[in-house]
A and B are shown apart, each in its own frame.
Chain A
Amino acid sequence: ATSKMAGADSDDSLYPIAVLIDELRNEDVQLRLNSIKKLSTIALALGVERTRTELLPFLTDTIYDEDEVLLALAEQLGNFTMLVGGPEYVHCLLPPLESLATVEETVVRDKAVESLRKISHEHSPVDLEVHFEPLVKRLASGDWFTSRTSACGLFSVCYPRVSSTVKAEIRQHFRTLCSDDTPMVRRAAASKLGEFAKVLELEYVKSDIISLFTALASDEQDSVRLLAVEAGVSIATLLPQEDLETLVMPTLRQAAEDKSWRVRYMVADKFSDLQKAVGPEITKNDLVPAFQNLLKDCEAEVRAAAANKVKEFCENLPEDSRETIIMTHILPCVKELVSDTNQHVKSALASVIMGLSTILGKDNTVEHLLPLFLAQLKDECPEVRLNIISNLDCVNEVIGIRQLSQSLLPAIVELAEDAKWRVRLAIIEYMPLLAGQLGVEFFDEKLNSLCMAWLVDHVYAIREAATCNLMKLVEKFGAEWAQNTIVPKVLGMANDPNYLHRMTTLFCINALSEVCGQEITTKHMLPVVFKMSNDQVANVRFNVAKSLQKIGPVLDSNCLQTEVKPVLEKLASDQDMDVKYFAQEAISVLSLA
Chain B
Amino acid sequence: MSSAATTPPSVDKVDGFSRKSVRKAKQKRSQSSSQFRSQGKPIELTPLPLLKDVSAQEQPELFLKKLQQCCAVFDFMDTLSDLKMKEYKRSTLNELVDYVTVSRGYLTEQAYPEVVKMVSYNIFRTLPPSESNEFDPEEDEPTLEASWPHLQLVYEFFIRFLESQEFQPSIAKKYIDQKFVLQLLELFDSEDPRERDYLKTVLHRIYGKFLGLRAFIRKQINNIFLRFVYETEHFNGVAELLEILGSIINGFALPLKAEHKQFLVKVLIPLHTVRSLSLFHAQLAYCIVQFLEKDPALTEPVIRGLLKFWPKTCSQKEVMFLGELEEILDVIEPTQFVKIQEPLFKQISRCVSSPHFQVAERALYYWNNEYIMSLIEENSNVILPIMFTSLYRISKEHWNPAIVALVYNVLKAFMEMNSTLFDELTSTYKSDRQREKKKEKEREELWKRLEDLELKRSLQSDGIIPT
Contact = CB atoms under 8 A, between A and B. Distances in A.
A184 B465 contact: no
B84 interface: no
Given A83-B465, A390-B9, 20 more contacts: A17-B450, A20-B446, A20-B450, A44-B454, A45-B454, A45-B457, A104-B230, A184-B227, A261-B36, A298-B35, A299-B36, A301-B129, A347-B11, A382-B15, A383-B9, A383-B14, A386-B9, A390-B5, A390-B7, A433-B1
Contacts of A13: 453
Q: Which of A44, A145, A220 has the most CB of B within 10 A?
A: A44
A430 B11 contact: no
B7 A45 contact: no
A41 interface: yes
Interface string B160-188: 00000000000000000001001000000
B119 interface: no
24 contacts: A16-B446, A16-B450, A17-B450, A19-B446, A41-B451, A42-B450, A45-B450, A82-B466, A145-B226, A183-B223, A183-B227, A184-B230, A262-B126, A298-B39, A299-B129, A347-B9, A382-B15, A383-B15, A386-B14, A390-B7, A390-B9, A422-B14, A430-B1, A433-B1
Contacts of B39: 298
A347 B5 CA distance: 15
A38 B450 contact: yes
Nearest to B77: A298
A182 B223 contact: yes
A261 B127 CA distance: 9
Contacts of B16: 421-422
A223 B235 CA distance: 13
Given A16-B450, A82-B464, A220-B182, A387 B9 contact: yes
Contacts of A17: 450
Contacts of B227: 183-184, 223
Contact of B449 (A16, A105, A182, A389): A16
Contacts of B449: 16
Interface in A1-57: 13, 16-17, 19-20, 23, 27, 31, 38, 41-42, 44-45
Given A27-B346, A386-B14, A387-B9, A106 B128 contact: no
A27 to B, nearest CB: 7
A270 to B, nearest CB: 18
Contact of A382 (B14, B231, B450, B458): B14
B385 interface: no
B308 A393 contact: no
A261 B1 contact: no
B270 A82 contact: no
Contacts of A425: 7
A41 B223 contact: no
A351 B10 CA distance: 11
- Classify chain B: how many residues form its interface, as a range: 35 or more
Contact of B230 (A106, A222, A300): A106
Nearest to B457: A44
Contacts of A298: 35-36, 39
A443 B201 CA distance: 70
A344 interface: yes
Given A16-B450, A382-B15, A390 B129 contact: no
B437 to A, nearest CB: 15
Nearest to A31: B443
A66 B458 CA distance: 31
Interface residues of A, number: 54
Given A82-B464, A144-B266, A184-B226, A422 B457 contact: no
A117 to B, nearest CB: 19
A259 B126 contact: yes
Contacts of A145: 226
Contacts of B230: 104-106, 184
Contacts of B443: 23, 31
Contacts of B1: 393, 429-430, 433
B263 to A, nearest CB: 12
Contacts, number: 106
B3 interface: yes
B57 to A, nearest CB: 40
A229 B326 CA distance: 48
Closest 3 CB pairs of A and B: A301-B129, A260-B126, A429-B4
Contact of B3 (A19, A261, A382, A429): A429
Interface string B392-422: 0000000000000000000000000000000
A82 B226 CA distance: 37
Contacts of B466: 82
A198 interface: no
A44 B35 CA distance: 64
Nearest to A430: B4
Q: Choose among B226, B270, B450 the residue with the greatest number of A CB atoms under 10 Å from its CB.
A: B450
Interface string A159-192: 0000000000000000000000011100100000
Contacts of B126: 222, 259-262
Contact of B4 (A23, A44, A382, A389): A389
A420 B7 contact: no
A422 B223 CA distance: 44
Contacts of B128: 261, 299
Interface string A492-530: 000000000000000000000000000000000000000
A45 B14 contact: no
Contacts of A83: 465
B454 A41 contact: yes
Contact of A45 (B3, B270, B453): B453
A426 interface: yes
Contacts of A183: 223, 227
A44 B458 CA distance: 8
A18 to B, nearest CB: 11
A421 B15 CA distance: 8
A13 B447 CA distance: 13
A261 B14 contact: no
Contact of B129 (A20, A261, A393, A421): A261
A409 B39 CA distance: 41
A42 B270 CA distance: 33
A422 B6 CA distance: 13
Contacts of B446: 16, 19-20
A44 B231 CA distance: 37
Contacts of A42: 450
Contact of B17 (A23, A187, A420): A420
A387 B5 CA distance: 9
A106 B226 CA distance: 11
B465 A82 contact: yes
Contact of B231 (A106, A389, A420): A106
Contacts of A390: 4-5, 7, 9
Interface in A318-360: 344, 347, 351
A184 B231 contact: yes
A106 to B, nearest CB: 5
A93 to B, nearest CB: 16
Contacts of A19: 446
Contacts of A23: 443
Nearest to A17: B450
A466 to B, nearest CB: 14
A262 B266 CA distance: 28
Given A82-B464, A220-B182, A299-B128, A426 B458 contact: no
Interface string B1-34: 1011101010100111100000000000000000
B70 to A, nearest CB: 21
Nearest to A396: B1
B219 to A, nearest CB: 8
Contacts of A223: 227
Contacts of B451: 41
A161 B223 CA distance: 35
Interface string A247-279: 000000000000111100000000000000000
Contacts of B182: 220
A421 B226 CA distance: 44
Interface in A420-445: 420-422, 425-426, 429-430, 433
